[in-house]
Chains A and B, each alone.
Chain A
Amino acid sequence: VKNERNPKAKERDTKRKLEIHKTTEQKTENKKRKRSHSKQRGKRNIDDEDKGGEQISKQKKNRKNKKTKKLLTEEAEGEGYITKQKKKRRPQVDEENANATKQMTPEGPPKKKKRAKVQVESSSESEDSSSEKESSEEEEWKVTALTPEELEKLKEAVDEKKKLITILRGKPWPMLKKLQTLKESHDFLEKFEGALGKGKAKKLYAYKVMMLKALMGKPYGSMPRKTVPRAEQASAMDFAVLWDFGVREASASFLQNPHLNPNGLFCQLKSWNQSFLLKGYAKYSVLFYGYYNSQRAIGWLKFRMPLSYFLVGVGTVAYSYMVVIRTMARNANEQGGGDDTNFNFSWKMFTSWDYLIGNPETADNKFASITTSFKEAIVEEQESRKDDNIHLTRFFRVLANFLVLCCLAGSGYLIYFVVRRSQKFALEGLENYGWWERNEVNMVMSLLGMFCPMLFDVISNLENYHPRIALQWQLGRIFALFLGNLYTFIIALMDEINLKEEETVKLNMTVWMANLHNGTLAENSTAPPITADPADVPRGPCWETMVGQEFVRLIISDTMTTYITLLIGDFLRAVMVRFFNYCWCWDLEYGFPSYSEFDVSGNVLGLIFNQGMIWMGAFYAPCLPALNVLRLHVSMYLQCWAVMCCNVPQERVFKASGSNNFYMAMLLVILFLSTLPAIYTIVSIPPSFDCGPFSGKNRMFDVIQETLEMDFPAWFGKVFSYASNPGLVLPFLLLMVLAIYYLQSTSKTYKKANAELKKKLQAVSSEAISLYCPDCFNIVFKGERGQNQHVTTCTRQSAAVKRQCGPADLHNPSTRPPPAQRNPATHGYLPGNPHQPSLRMQRTSSLKLQ
C-alpha cells in the first residue's frame, strides 16, 4: 500500500532488499534478477504484489505461499507486459487464484477488505511460516459470514491472540517483529471482540466483558503510575444501626433463656427497665463479660470458670508481649549492624527494576520513577553537602510540628467537647435525641481519624525530610492521634461508668425497697429481720459489659467505615475515573481525581491500631478477638479486590512487613499503652458486685487466692505466700535488672566486633578486586562513597603501599577526606559533583519513554 506512493520502482527494489525477514529464496532470486538483467520483471512482480495486496489481499497470500518458484516461471514473460500491467492485473490475479493450491475460502465482497487487514497482511508477509498460518486463519474469519461454528473458531482465535500477547515477551524474536505481532494482535482483538459482542446471542458476553471491566478494571500491576489500601480509618456508620435491624431478632433467643445467667440478671432487668432491653439483645450475649457467672466450678469436670477467665485474659496479654519482643529480637539479629546509607547509588542502579512489570505504561512510569529517584538521590546528596539554608528548613520543621500539635490539640478538644455533650445527653436520657446526637462521639472520632492523617501528610511536605524519615514522622503523628483519640474515649467511658452506675443503682434500690415493703406488708408479720442476699439486690448493668459493648461498637463502626470508604472513596472513584475519562476535558487518570493510592504504611498502622483496640477490649468482651478475626478476613478479601480493581501503587514504596522493627516497635508501644488501662482496671477497680465471673469479690485477682486456698494443699498456699513476699520479690527483681544490664553490655561488645569484622572483610575483598582487575574495580566502585574513593587512589600506587593504606583507611571512616575535594575529571561519576549529575540527568531524561 505504502509503496505505491513512491512511483519509482528502483526505490521499491531497495526497500525490498532492506526487508529484514527475507527468505533465502528471495535473496537468491534477487541476485538472479540482477545477474540476468531481468530487473524489470522482478519489479513488475513486486509492484503487482503490492497492488494485489492492496486490493485483493488473498491472491497475494496465495502467491506468497507459492513463493519464488512461481515468480521465476513468470519471468519468462515479455517486457512489454509492464506497460499494460494495470489493465492486465485483474485477469492475471484471477489466474493466480486458480493456481492456488489450498485456499478454499471464497473471495469476500470488496467492502470487507479494510485497510487494517491489508496492513496486517503486508506485515505478516515478512513473518515466518507459523505466523503465516495464523494470518491465513485471520483471513478466513474476515471473509466468511459468522455461523455458529465459525463463531466458536473465532472465539478460539481471539483466545489464541490473547495468549500470544501474554507470551510474546518470552519469544526469541527481534524486537521489531514483536512489536508488529503485538500490534496485529491488538488490532485483531479490538476488531473481533467487538464483533463478538454485537450479535444478539452475544449480548451476554458483551455484558460480561463490561462488568468485568467495571468491577475488575485493569489488574493492579498494569495500572499506570504508582503502589498501596486506604488506611482502615473510620467514618460514619454505627453499631446502633446494626442493632436497630437484624441483630435484635437474631439474638432474641438469648433473652428467652433466663437461666443463662443464674443470678437472674436478665429477668430482673426485664422487669424494671424494658426500654433498656429494647436497645438490643446482643448486648448480653456470650460476647460480653456479663454473660459469664461467678459459679466456681462447672460440671463434673469442675471447670473453674472465673479462674480460667482471669488467667486467659492476663495470659493473652503476656503472650502478646512475648511474641512481639521475640519477633523484634529476631529481626534485630538478622539485620545486623550495617549502615543502610552505604552503596546508595549501587543499590539504586542494580536493584531498582521490577521484573514483574508486564505493561508498557507501567514500565514507562517505573522508568520515570527510577530516573526521578536518581535525581532525588543526587539532589539529596548535594543538599547534604550544602546546608546553606538550614535555618529556613529548621524553621519550617518547627512550624510543621507546631501545626501538627495544634491539629492534635484541636482534635483532642473536639472529642472532649463531644464527650461532655454526650454525658449531658445521657443525663437527660438518650431517647429524646436523634441518631446524630446518639452517635456523635463515634462519628467525630472516625472522621478525625480519617481526615487528620491527610492533613498531616500535607503539612509534612513543608518539612523537606528524606521520604523515609518523613514517613516515620507521619506514622508517629498518626499514632499519636489515634492514641489520643482512644485515650480520650476511654476516659469518657470511665466517666460514663460512674454516671450511669449511680443512676441505676439509685433506681434499683428504690425498686427493690418497694418490693420488699410490699412483701412484708402482705405477710403481715411483726418485723422479722429482713435478711436478703446481697446478690439479690438488683444493681443494674455492670460497667464491664458496658466497656466491652463500647469496644465492639467501636470495632464495628470502624469496619463499617472502612468498607464505606472503600466503596465510595476507592471503588466509585475508580469507576468514575475509568468511565468518565473517555469524555472529560482533562485526563482523569493522571490528573486530578486519579485512582486512589494504596497506602501500605497507613494500612499497617490501621492494623496495629486495630490490634491495640482488641487488646484493650478483649478482657471485657472475650469474643472480641474472634469477631476481629472474622472482620479481618472479610476485609482482607474485600481489600484484595479493591486493590486490584481500583488502587494504584503508591508513589513512594516502603517496605512494611513483620521484619521491619519500626512497625514492631510501634506495635509494642501500643500493646503497652492498650494493656495499661485494662490492667489498671483489673487491679484497682472493684468488679461489679452482681455481674460477671468475679462478682462478689473485692478485686479480680482474688480468684487466684481463692483457688490457692480451696484447690491446692495448704503447704502450697504457704509457699506461694512466702514467694510473694516483697522481701523476696524485690531482690529477685534487682537481680534480673542486673542480669539484663550485663547481657546488654556483652551484646554491645559483640556487635562492635561484628561491625569491625565486616569492615575488614569489605576492605579485603575490594583490595582483591583491585589487585586482579583494576578496571573492574574502577567500574564497580567508582562513584561510591568516600571509602572506596580512597581505595581507588590507592590502586594507583604500588601494591605494597596499597596493602598498607587501603585497609588502614577503611578502618576509620572518620578520616575520610571530604568528598568535595574530589576531582571530577579523574573519578568519573560523583554524586556530589554539581556538573556531572546534570549531564547524567539530561541523558536519562532524553531516553526514549516507550
Chain B
Amino acid sequence: MVSPAIALAFLPLLITLLIRYRYYFVLLYRAVLVRWVQDLLTGLSREERAFQYILTHSIPGDPQSILDTFDHWCSKVEFISNIGPKKGKILDRLLEEIRPLTVLELGTHCGYSTVRIARSLPLGARLYSIEMHEKNAQIAEKIIRLAGFDDDTVELVVSPSDEVIPRLREDYGVEHLDFVFMDHWKRCYLPDLQLLEGSGLLGEGSVVLADNVVFPGAPNFLRYVRNSGLYELRLHRASLEYIRGIRDGMAELVHRGVK
C-alpha cells in the first residue's frame, strides 16, 4: 500500500503537467468535449451548427464578413480547425504574390479556406476544391455560394483526393496547377503530393502550401520534401488556429522545375 505522503509528492508533477500542457487541455475540451455535448444537445453536426450561425450572423455575398463570422464562431463558440485568421494572412500574401490561375484545394471541410482563397484569386482563375465527406461538402457548397462565388470560380469535387488527382487532367482539363493548398488528412499529404508529381500537374514555379505540418504534424511529408530536392521548402511558423499556445507551421513548397 502506497502511503499518502508518497502520493502527495506527485502533486508538483501533476500541477506541472497541467500548467505546461494547458493549451492542449483547452484544445481537448473545445474540440472534443464541447463538440460531443453539443452534438447530443442539438442533434446537428458541428458543421451544420457553424453554418446556421453564419447564415444568421453574416452578410451574404461578402466574403470578409463570412470569414469574420467564421472566426468568431470558431474562437468564441466552438472549435473547427480552419486555417484561421493568422495563417490565413500568410495564405493571402502568397496568393497576392503568385496570382495563380489554377488552384487545387485538398480538404474543403466547411469552405472557410475555399472562400479565403477564392476571395484573393485574380480574374479568370479557377479553384478546384476536393472534399471527401458528403455532408461537409454540402455545407461547404452552401457557404461558398453564400459568399458569392459561382461554379466558374470554385468547383467543388466530392471524392477522396487520391481518386480525383489522377483524373484531374482528363475529367477537368487541368494541365498545370499553379497553387495547391493541402489541409485534409495529414497522413495523405505525402501520397497526394506524390500523386501530383506523378500526374505531372506540378511544374516549375508551382507552389504547394501544406497546413498543420507541425501540429498535428506531417513528419514523413516534410522528410520527403527535404530529401527530394524538387522543392524549395519554406516553413512559416505560426500558432495553431484559434488557440494561441500551440505552435504550428505551414510548409510552402516551390517547385524548382524539372531539369
Contacts and interface: CB of A to CB of B under 8 A. Distances in A.
Contact of A455 (B3, B5, B12): B12
Contacts of B1: 434, 436
A589 B214 CA distance: 10
Nearest to A2: B258
- Which are the 7 A-B pairs with shortest beta-carbon distances? A587-B217, A447-B9, A586-B216, A451-B12, A451-B13, A2-B258, A455-B12
A443 interface: yes
B165 to A, nearest CB: 18
A436 B6 contact: yes
A849 B219 contact: no
20 contacts: A179-B229, A183-B228, A361-B226, A368-B237, A414-B8, A434-B1, A447-B6, A451-B9, A451-B10, A451-B13, A452-B12, A454-B13, A455-B15, A455-B19, A457-B16, A459-B19, A582-B220, A587-B216, A590-B215, A590-B217
A449 B6 CA distance: 13
Interface string A652-666: 000000000000000
Contacts of A129: none
Given A418-B5, A455-B13, A590-B215, 10 more contacts: A179-B229, A183-B229, A417-B5, A444-B9, A451-B11, A454-B12, A587-B214, A590-B219, A849-B234, A849-B235
A451 B15 CA distance: 10
A451 B232 contact: no
Contacts of B19: 455, 458-459
Given A183-B229, A360-B226, A587 B215 contact: yes
A407 B14 CA distance: 13
Interface in A351-379: 360-361, 368
Contacts of A130: none
A158 B227 CA distance: 18
B186 interface: yes
A848 interface: yes
B9 A414 contact: yes
B139 interface: no
Given A454-B16, A586-B215, A846-B234, A436 B229 contact: no
Nearest to B5: A418
Interface in A414-449: 414, 417-418, 421, 434, 436-437, 440, 443-444, 447-448
Interface in B7-27: 8-13, 15-16, 19-21, 24
Interface string A824-850: 000000000000000000000110111
A440 B187 CA distance: 48
Interface in B28-85: none
A654 B13 CA distance: 25
B16 A590 contact: no
Interface in B133-182: none
| Size class of the contact patch on chain B | 35 or more
A718 interface: no
B200 interface: yes
A320 interface: no
A819 to B, nearest CB: 30
Given A448-B12, A585-B216, A414 B5 contact: yes
Contacts of A846: 234
A411 B12 CA distance: 9
Nearest to A126: B259
A587 B218 contact: yes
A846 B217 CA distance: 21
B214 A590 contact: yes
B2 interface: yes
B195 interface: no
Interface of A: 2, 5, 179-180, 183, 186, 360-361, 368, 407, 411, 414, 417-418, 421, 434, 436-437, 440, 443-444, 447-448, 450-452, 454-455, 457-459, 581-582, 585-587, 589-592, 845-846, 848-850
Contacts of A845: 236-237
A586 B248 CA distance: 11
A591 B217 contact: yes
Nearest to A360: B226
B233 interface: yes
For the residues of A in contact with B, the DSSP-based class is helix
Contact of A458 (B16, B232, B236): B16
Interface of B: 1-3, 5-6, 8-13, 15-16, 19-21, 24, 186-187, 200, 214-220, 226-229, 232-237, 258
A459 to B, nearest CB: 8
Contact of A591 (B6, B214, B220, B236): B214
B235 A451 contact: no
A461 to B, nearest CB: 8
B219 A589 contact: yes
A447 B200 contact: no
Contacts of A586: 186, 215-217
Contacts of B227: 183, 186
A586 B6 CA distance: 34
A436 B2 contact: yes
A583 to B, nearest CB: 10
Contacts of B228: 183
Contacts of B216: 585-587, 591
Contacts of A451: 9-13, 16
B232 A447 contact: no
A5 B198 CA distance: 12
A443 B9 contact: yes
Most chain B CB within 10 A, of A180, A448, A589, is at A448
B19 to A, nearest CB: 5
B12 A443 contact: no
A849 B8 CA distance: 46
A361 B235 CA distance: 12
B182 to A, nearest CB: 15
B49 to A, nearest CB: 25
A592 B19 CA distance: 14
Contacts of B20: 458
Nearest to A582: B220
Contacts of B10: 447, 451
Contacts of B214: 587, 590-591
Contacts of A183: 227-229
Contacts of A180: 229
B237 A850 contact: no
A421 B1 CA distance: 15
Given A591-B214, A849-B233, A444 B5 contact: yes
B201 to A, nearest CB: 12
B232 A848 contact: yes
B187 A585 contact: yes
A29 to B, nearest CB: 20
Given A183-B227, A455-B16, A848-B232, A587 B219 contact: yes
A93 to B, nearest CB: 24
A850 B216 CA distance: 22
Contacts of B220: 582
A411 B20 CA distance: 20
Nearest to B13: A451
Nearest to A19: B259
A845 B8 CA distance: 46
Given A407-B12, A414-B8, A454-B13, A581 B232 contact: no
A363 to B, nearest CB: 11
B24 to A, nearest CB: 7
Contacts of A848: 232-234
A440 B234 contact: no
A440 to B, nearest CB: 6
A46 to B, nearest CB: 15
Contacts of B12: 407, 411, 448, 451-452, 454-455
A450 B15 CA distance: 13
Nearest to B187: A585
Contact of A436 (B3, B9, B187): B3
Contact of A592 (B5, B24, B234, B237): B24
B125 to A, nearest CB: 24
A436 B2 CA distance: 6
A443 B8 CA distance: 11
